[in-house]
């Protein structure tokens, strides 16, 4: 059984919370007492049904305002997979939450209201999915009950979205006619939409192949923590702890330490204190090298025959996430996996219109939720790959040194 992380995106009132509630409810992942609490808080509903959306609205402020204000994580399991849902709100002003939720997602569900078709927010969410390289897209055309489950309405929206997907280079896209409220094509295939030949949502979630999204070719590893037991029996032990970012490492591999440039050989790989012969992506390992080299947190250990880029001037796309504006020439900290370096946003080149994908000239300050192309200079070099080729080694954040806030999501070019 493996693990699939997905994000749901939609405009306000597209029925996103209802959909998540429905997934949890129909897959029997809601428990009796949670349901009772739900029924208790469902007030004044004429038909006496439970409001599934309340299952996901966690904070009191949200319940009072009836909106979702922050990314929430939900969990459910079927016999085939464990799922982690990042529930990101749909409001225009919360683009940063969607980016947060999408950054780790294998898949995105984009909700479209069948009565509205593709709207500005649909484009925005799709552009973000494409910028972040989310590998799989499910377009859930929801509220089909309100358009009499019309096949032509569905087909028109599919055609309309296919244009968007083509423009953005989204190539693994599935379309589902759905009513989250009534449960049509969510967990079970609906008998009303008998013209629909695809699968219900749950079946896609369970069956979409995600193994191929992992890169086993380019070996990337960054040191998180240096383990030095300094006990009598392990007097000279010096292990480099970290996670395999991508590729495969084996005992005996010739490696290069970057940015320093020293070469050595892997003398052992351990997982939880046990020696292993090889290690692969996501595993948390400890590497020991044959030679004594000065290595610290944030340094990369890569194979000599396949090297990443090393540079201290980067062309990036960044999404600004702070209430205070981005100002060209300001200094920040840049964190790339565990490597923290001082950086400066040297120049902002253009602003990306997230509704049209057009490049716009900068004639104003860069505000919260805006995506720009910029040139960043770092004090010491970064060891990276371009985000579009190997996203796991091409992402970073900017931290404001005065507030300590995370102020930008960075995708390195």
Check residue 139 and report its DSSP letter.
E
Site stretch for another protein (CB under 8 A), options 173-181, 194-202, 332-340, 349-357? 332-340
Q: How far is the CB of 191 from another protein (least distance, A)?
A: 28
Tell me which of 12, 34, 306, 380 binds another protein, using CB under 8 A.
Answer: 34
Q: Which residues in the 216-245 window bind another protein by CB under 8 A?
A: 216, 224-225, 227-230, 234, 237, 239, 241-243
Residue 399 found at the interface with another protein (CB under 8 A): yes
Residue 276 found at the interface with another protein (CB under 8 A): no
Closest CA to 106 of 81, 141, 123, 72: 81
- Dist. CA 383–CA 191, nearest whole Å: 54
Residue 206 found at the interface with another protein (CB under 8 A): no
The beta-carbon contacts of 207-211 under 8 Å, at least 24 apart in sequence, are 207/80, 208/4, 208/106, 208/107, 208/136, 210/2, 210/4, 210/106, 210/107, 210/135, 210/136, 211/2
Q: How far is the CB of 371 from another protein (least distance, A)?
A: 14
Residue 308 found at the interface with another protein (CB under 8 A): no
Q: How far is the CB of 65 from another protein (least distance, A)?
A: 12
Site stretch for another protein (CB under 8 A), options 162-170, 182-190, 258-266, 334-342? 334-342
Contact characters 349-388, another protein, x per CB under 8 A: ----------------------------------------
Output the DSSP codes for 314-353: EEEEEEE--SSPB-TT-EEEEEETTEEEEEEEEEEEEEE-
Tell me which of 78, 167, 203, 283 binds another protein, using CB under 8 A.
Answer: 283
Contact 177, 185 (CB under 8 A): yes
Q: Which residues in the 240-259 window bind another protein by CB under 8 A?
A: 241-243, 248
Contact 37, 50 (CB under 8 A): no
Contact characters 286-305, another protein, x per CB under 8 A: x----------x--------
Contact 371, 395 (CB under 8 A): no
- Dist. CA 370–CA 386, nearest whole Å: 21
The encoded tokens of residue 199 equal: 């699968």
Tell me which of 211, 232, 236, 294 binds another protein, using CB under 8 A.
Answer: 211
Contact 254, 265 (CB under 8 A): yes
Residue 18 found at the interface with another protein (CB under 8 A): no
- Dist. CA 181–CA 190, nearest whole Å: 13
Residue 214 found at the interface with another protein (CB under 8 A): yes
Site stretch for another protein (CB under 8 A), options 164-172, 183-191, 193-201, 265-273? 265-273
Q: 32 or 361: whose CB is closer to another protein? A: 32
């Amino acid at each position: 059984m493996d693990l699939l992380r997905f994000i749901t995106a939609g405009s306000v009132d597209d029925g996103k919370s209802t959909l998540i509630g429905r997934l949890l409810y129909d897959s029997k992942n809601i428990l009796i007492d949670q349901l009772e609490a739900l029924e208790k808080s469902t007030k004044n509903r004429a038909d006496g049904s439970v409001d599934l959306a309340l299952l996901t609205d966690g904070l009191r402020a949200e319940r009072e305002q009836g909106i979702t204000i922050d990314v929430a994580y939900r969990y459910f399991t079927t016999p085939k997979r464990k799922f982690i849902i990042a529930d990101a709100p749909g409001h225009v002003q919360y683009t940063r939450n969607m980016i947060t939720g999408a950054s780790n997602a294998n898949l995105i569900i984009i909700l479209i209201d069948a009565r509205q078709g593709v709207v500005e927010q649909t484009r925005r969410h799709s552009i973000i999915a494409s910028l972040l390289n989310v590998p799989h897209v499910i377009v859930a055309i929801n509220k089909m009950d309100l358009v009499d489950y019309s096949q032509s309405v569905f087909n028109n929206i599919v055609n309309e979205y296919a244009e968007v997907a083509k423009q953005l280079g989204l190539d693994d896209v599935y379309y589902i006619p759905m009513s989250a409220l009534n449960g049509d094509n969510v967990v079970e295939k609906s008998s009303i939409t008998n013209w629909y030949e695809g699968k219900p949502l749950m079946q896609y979630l369970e069956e979409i192949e995600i193994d191929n999204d992992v890169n086993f070719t380019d070996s990337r590893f960054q040191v998180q923590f240096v383990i030095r037991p300094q006990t009598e029996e392990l007097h000279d032990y010096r292990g480099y702890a970290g996670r395999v970012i991508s590729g495969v490492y084996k005992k005996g591999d010739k490696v290069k330490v970057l940015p320093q440039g020293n070469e050595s050989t892997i003398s052992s790989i351990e997982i939880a204190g046990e020696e292993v012969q090889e290690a692969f992506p996501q595993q948390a390992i400890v590497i020991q090298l044959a030679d004594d080299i000065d290595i610290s947190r944030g340094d990369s250990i890569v194979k000599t025959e396949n090297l990443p880029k090393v540079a201290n001037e980067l062309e990036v796309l960044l999404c600004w996430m702070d209430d205070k504006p981005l100002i060209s020439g300001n200094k920040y900290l840049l964190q790339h996996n565990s490597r923290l370096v001082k950086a400066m946003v040297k120049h902002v080149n253009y602003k990306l219109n997230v509704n049209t994908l057009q490049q716009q000239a900068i004639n104003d300050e860069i505000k919260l939720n805006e995506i720009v192309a910029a040139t960043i200079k770092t004090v010491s070099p970064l060891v990276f790959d371009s985000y579009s080729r190997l996203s796991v080694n091409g992402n970073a954040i900017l931290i404001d040194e005065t507030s300590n806030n995370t102020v930008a999501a960075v995708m390195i070019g």
